[in-house]
Amino acid sequence: MPDFSNADLPASVRHHLPQRAQEMYRAAFNAAYKGYAADARHEEIAHRVAWAAVKRCYVKDGNEWIERR
């Protein structure tokens, strides 16, 4: 599953995050997926790492994710 495009992201990511945040999520996911390949839960871990990366740069305001200033 690593190295997928933004179109392959889960609907919860595609429909809610801005394009730049989606790219950030995808890059973090791909790196974590490869980095934790030896762990049986590597896909779950990769999603958690990706959301953490997004939350460092974006904050949810109501139903919208906005970039932190």
From first to last of its 69 residues, what are the pLDDT tens digits of the chain?
Answer: 566 788 889 999 999 999 999 999 999 999 999 999 999 999 999 999 999 999 999 999 999 999 998
Say what the pLDDT of residue 69 is: 87
Could you state, in order of their start, the residue ranges of all structural domains in the chain?
12-67
> Quick one: fold of 12-67?
Rna Polymerase Sigma Factor; Chain: A (1.10.1740)
pTM as predicted: 0.89
Rounded to whole angstroms, how far apart are CA atoms 24 and 40? Answer: 24
Contact 32, 45 (CB under 8 A): yes
Place of tokens 């945040």: 21
Rounded to whole angstroms, how far apart are CA atoms 19 and 25? Answer: 10
